[in-house]
Homo-oligomer: A and B are copies of this chain.
């Protein structure tokens, strides 16, 4: 038996869930590297060490596979942020822990972020809709935080009026900073999160007045 034959034999014994994970891991890497259209199923098969017919049988066409990738990475991102948020602390600290978890995820899973934020939007259609849904989810989380904190301080009406728009702006800022980060990879997730806290929680005051937000 040839080496690749042995390899195929060995991989046949793996449970389906393990094989699917191998395929998805490989697909995220390949899609992030080339983009959706230029990416080839041959390369996914090679990187995963799983035959093409088996990929089609387990996860469907290239289109299906891309959608599986986007959904899995979106869920991982949501899980990472939700796990990272400490819900028992003050509102600024909740935002801080959420942002740190977000940048921590991007730092560890750069290919996931590239697929989610660049490839999926570039391909458009139902793929972009998944990202719009992910973004709406993030906006909703931030809106809830701001409205609940505003209400607690007797500013509920104002928070209800402008909270969602400001949350949308904050989420856009967080995404834009993550993209900027791809070209400035030396900074830590904590630095990025603290910049965003300073920008949104204290405003530019930290730069122009020397006032700085710090985790309490």
Residues of A that sit less than 8 Å from B by CB: 35, 91-92, 95, 121-122, 124, 128, 139, 146, 149-150, 153-155, 158-159, 162-166, 168-177, 179-181, 184, 187, 192, 195-196, 198-210, 213
Contact = CB atoms under 8 A, between A and B. Distances in A.
Contacts of A172: 172-177, 179
A205 B207 contact: no
Contact of A198 (B139, B153, B166): B166
A128 B159 CA distance: 35
30 contacts: A35-B124, A91-B208, A92-B208, A122-B122, A122-B128, A139-B180, A149-B207, A149-B208, A150-B208, A158-B206, A158-B207, A159-B207, A162-B195, A165-B180, A166-B198, A166-B204, A168-B177, A168-B179, A168-B180, A169-B173, A169-B177, A169-B195, A169-B196, A172-B176, A172-B179, A173-B176, A198-B203, A201-B204, A201-B205, A202-B203
A170 B180 CA distance: 12
A119 B205 CA distance: 36
Copies in the complex: 2
Contacts of A122: 121-122, 124, 128
